[in-house]
């Protein structure tokens, strides 16, 4: 006896609705507290300001100030990926929501997709605020000639980052608070290696092997591409290699996330840790 | 550690089946296996004929789970918003979700809180919301894991009434775990008594109690309490004993199941030897708790 018959189309629609609903929760929840929004815009501007002032004091080229503003803006996405995407499973587990997701007939990827889309929209709005405020306050030079190229590299960077977030989310399926350390380990090194606040590639100060390692991080590649297009006035032809790299990142990371989630879920079910709290 | 040991159980379609047992007996483990949240190391489990391991995806379409003392949802969202969100995990259309939400908030007495944020609700109302969430997909099989845990008497009664009325709506099946014997007695068509991962008995509450009819049950109030309850348990003819201490009054209530009345004189002597005085004693009709005591040898407290 099989009491459940669902076509592929019905399942796709079900997962689409679930992803939309999870996105809606993120948008609604995160924008209900105005203090959160203000903090998320103003605090990055303070960090950016510190670097811009430092570079001006040292009489370094003005484009470095613009690079910092782009870096500080994009770093919001990395923080969002780490803490509101990967670590979100931890919070969902603690509140009992994860259990409800896993008992429901929806794909875990649909839930993560909803979180990612909500995170992208939320963080984009905040990042826009940081960008505008940064440009307005610090009066740094930008040369944006190809909006299409800028939009393309931005979207591809964000896609690659959130795909990476989905891979990390699988860790929280099995582990609880222990996986926080993974996030901590990933946060600062990526801030440093991706060159968010100072150049880490195309510079003689940092060893070549460190620079090559840094390019394995989607953030480094995306950030460099966005800077080339928005500060250097580049076009698609200037960043074609970056575009290919970012597409490859997404194509590899998304299926990897799916596999990792399934593997970790099975392991957690076997070890009885799927809904175990206070770990 | 073995959580479930050779459990062989069948819950009939259309019944509320109760699983009674103390903490760590294996009740939640069994429910988690059936809800596809845990993989059994051995054996098989089926829900509506679907294998809980191989057909987990299909099972999830027809079940839901409500765990007592849990408050899933998002505190910053309202009752209505939370219910809508969970309805989307089951693909409910806008109209169907709205109708069902309306019905559930009315039946569970949540109308005046539909636009209140979840984090503003009291524990009892959060629990009602949790229950409403469990019914949002109108599951064929509902797992209720201690649904009235931590609730006041009125809220618990309200929830029990709601569950019983929902059962009238069609071919629904409920697997209920509970600590509360009276709850199981009131709600369940059949109950299984589980301890240390084993099913010790499984039948209707009436039949289980009837099997105990030949064994007298006694309720004895003593003061001060016994220093060693074990000294009573070892008296020949005492099948099982549970004690409840009232800290305010200093009175201890012993519930005893005996093989026959002959054990009573030894029992009273032992209470006296322990320095306790008998304040009152009464023979009682067997309850599910007595069934539990006779099977396990101790009470749930």
Dump pLDDT digits (tens) for A196-207: 988 888 888 889
pTM: 0.87
- Picking from B41, B49, B76, the nearest residue to A32 by CB comes out as B76
- Mark yes or no for CB contact A105/B57 under 8 Å: yes
pLDDT number for residue B290:
86
Mean pLDDT of chain B: 90
Contacts of B61 in chain A (CB under 8 A): 4, 6, 105
Smallest CA–CA distance from B36 into chain A, residue: A103
Contacts of B136 in chain A (CB under 8 A): none
pLDDT, tens only, A123-132: 998 899 888 8
| Regions of chain A short of the pLDDT cut 50 | 1
Name the residue range of residue A32's domain.
12-271
Residue B107 vs residues A72, A279, B81, B158: alpha-carbon distances, Å: 51, 37, 18, 9
Mean pLDDT of chain A: 90
Edge-to-edge strand list for the sheet holding B16-20: B63-67, B141-145, B173-178, B16-20, B190-195, B198-203
* Domain assignment present for B6: no
Chain A neighbours among B 95-154 (CB < 8 Å)?
133, 140
Examine the domain organization and report whether B116 and B238 are in the same domain.
Answer: no
Any chain A CB within 8 A of the CB of B284?
no
Examine the domain organization and report whether B246 and B119 are in the same domain.
Answer: no
Q: How many domains does chain A have?
A: 1
Domain boundary at B158, B187, B208, which? B208
* Domain assignment present for B131: yes
pLDDT, tens only, B104-150: 999 999 999 999 999 999 988 999 999 999 999 999 999 999 988 87
Examine the domain organization and report whether B38 and B171 are in the same domain.
Answer: yes
Q: Which helix (H) or strand (E) holds B240?
A: strand B238-246
pLDDT number for residue B149:
84
- CATH number of the structural domain spanning residue B241: 3.30.70.260
Examine the domain organization and report whether B242 and B138 are in the same domain.
Answer: no
Q: Is the CB of residue B258 less than 8 Å from the CB of residue B238?
A: yes
* Domain assignment present for B1: no
Examine the domain organization and report whether B39 and B122 are in the same domain.
Answer: yes
Smallest CA–CA distance, residue A200 to chain B, in Å, is 41
Name the residue range of residue B273's domain.
214-285
Any chain B CB within 8 A of the CB of A276?
no
Domain boundary at B186, B208, B230, which? B208
* Domain assignment present for A22: yes
pLDDT number for residue A266:
92
pLDDT, tens only, B200-229: 999 999 999 888 878 888 899 998 887 777
- Mark yes or no for CB contact B50/A29 under 8 Å: no
* Domain assignment present for B296: no
Examine the domain organization and report whether B266 and B150 are in the same domain.
Answer: no
Chain B neighbours among A 2-31 (CB < 8 Å)?
2-4, 6, 10, 13-14, 17-18, 20-22, 24-25, 28-29
Examine the domain organization and report whether B182 and B273 are in the same domain.
Answer: no
Q: Is the CB of residue B182 less than 8 Å from the CB of residue B291?
A: no
* Domain assignment present for B73: yes
- Picking from B32, B72, B140, the nearest residue to A100 by CB comes out as B72
Work out the burial of residue B23: count CB atoms within 10 Å of its CB; fewer than 13 is exposed, 13-18 middle, 19 or more buried. Answer: exposed
Here the tokens at position B202 are: 């499984």
Q: How many domains does chain B have?
A: 2
Between CA A4 and CA A2 the distance in angstroms is 6
- Mark yes or no for CB contact A28/B77 under 8 Å: yes
* Domain assignment present for B114: yes
Any chain A CB within 8 A of the CB of B76?
yes
How much of chain B exceeds pLDDT 90, in percent?
53
* Domain assignment present for B291: no
Any chain B CB within 8 A of the CB of A141?
no
- Mark yes or no for CB contact B65/A28 under 8 Å: no
The helix/strand/coil state of B253 is strand
- CATH number of the structural domain spanning residue B141: 3.40.50.300
Mutate to test the interface with A, among B3, B32, B37 (most CBs of A within 10 A): B37
Examine the domain organization and report whether B154 and B272 are in the same domain.
Answer: no
- Mark yes or no for CB contact A21/B63 under 8 Å: no
Q: What is the ipTM of this complex?
A: 0.88
- Picking from A22, A104, A275, the nearest residue to B60 by CB comes out as A104
Examine the domain organization and report whether B109 and B169 are in the same domain.
Answer: yes
Instruction: Say whether pLDDT at B301 is over 70.
Output: no
């Amino acid at each position: 006896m099989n009491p459940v018959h669902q076509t592929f189309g019905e399942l796709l629609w079900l997962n689409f609705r679930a992803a939309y609903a999870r996105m809606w929760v993120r948008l609604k929840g995160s924008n209900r507290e105005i203090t959160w929004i203000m903090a998320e815009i103003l605090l990055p501007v303070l960090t950016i300001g510190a670097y811009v002032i430092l570079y001006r004091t040292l009489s370094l080229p003005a484009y470095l100030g613009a690079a910092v503003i782009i870096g500080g803006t994009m770093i919001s996405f990395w923080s969002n990926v780490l803490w509101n995407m990967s670590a979100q499973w931890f919070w969902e587990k603690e509140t009992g929501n994860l259990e409800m997701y896993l008992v429901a007939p929806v794909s875990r990827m649909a839930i993560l997709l909803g979180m990612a889309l909500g995170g992208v929209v939320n963080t984009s709005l905040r990042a826009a605020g940081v960008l505008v405020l940064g440009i307005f306050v610090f009066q740094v030079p930008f040369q944006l000639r190809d909006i299409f190229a800028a939009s393309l590299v931005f979207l591809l960077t964000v896609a690659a980052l959130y795909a990476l977030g989905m891979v990390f989310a699988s860790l929280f399926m099995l582990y609880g608070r222990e996986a926080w350390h993974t996030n901590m380990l990933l946060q600062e090194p990526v801030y440093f290696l991706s060159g968010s606040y100072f150049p880490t590639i195309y510079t003689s100060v940092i060893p070549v092997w460190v620079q090559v390692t840094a390019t394995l991080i989607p953030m480094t590649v995306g950030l460099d591409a966005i800077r080339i297009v928005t500060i250097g006035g580049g076009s698609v032809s200037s960043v074609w290699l970056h575009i290919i790299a970012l597409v490859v990142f997404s194509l590899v990371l998304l299926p990897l996330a799916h596999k990792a989630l399934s593997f970790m879920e099975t392991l957690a079910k076997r070890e009885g840790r799927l809904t175990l709290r206070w770990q | 550690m073995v959580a479930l040991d050779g459990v062989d159980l069948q819950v009939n379609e259309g019944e509320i089946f109760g699983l009674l047992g103390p903490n760590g007996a294996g009740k939640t483990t069994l429910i988690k296996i059936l809800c596809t949240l845990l993989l059994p190391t051995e054996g098989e489990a089926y829900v509506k004929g679907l294998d809980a391991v191989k057909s987990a995806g299909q099972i999830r379409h027809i079940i839901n789970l409500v765990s007592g003392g849990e408050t899933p949802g998002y505190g910053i969202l309202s009752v209505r918003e939370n219910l809508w969100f969970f309805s989307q995990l089951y693909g409910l259309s806008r109209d169907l979700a709205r109708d069902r939400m309306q019905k559930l908030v009315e039946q569970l007495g949540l109308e005046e809180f539909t636009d209140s944020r979840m984090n503003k609700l009291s524990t009892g109302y959060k629990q009602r919301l949790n229950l409403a969430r469990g019914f949002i997909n109108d599951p064929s099989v509902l797992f209720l894991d201690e649904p009235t845990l931590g609730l006041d008497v009125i809220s618990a009664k309200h929830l029990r009434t709601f569950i019983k009325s929902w059962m009238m709506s069609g071919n629904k099946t409920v697997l209920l775990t509970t600590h509360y014997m009276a709850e199981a007695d009131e709600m369940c068509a059949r109950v299984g008594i589980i301890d240390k991962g084993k099913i010790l008995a499984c039948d209707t509450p009436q039949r289980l109690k009837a099997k105990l009819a030949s064994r007298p049950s006694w309720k004895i109030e003593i003061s001060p309490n016994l220093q060693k309850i074990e000294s009573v348990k070892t008296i020949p003819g005492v099948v099982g004993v549970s004690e409840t201490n009232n800290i305010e009054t200093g009175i201890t209530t012993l519930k005893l199941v005996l093989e026959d009345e002959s054990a009573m004189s030894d029992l009273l002597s032992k209470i006296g030897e322990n320095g306790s005085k008998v304040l009152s004693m009464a023979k009682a009709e067997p309850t599910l708790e007595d069934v539990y005591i006779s099977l396990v040898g101790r009470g749930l407290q």
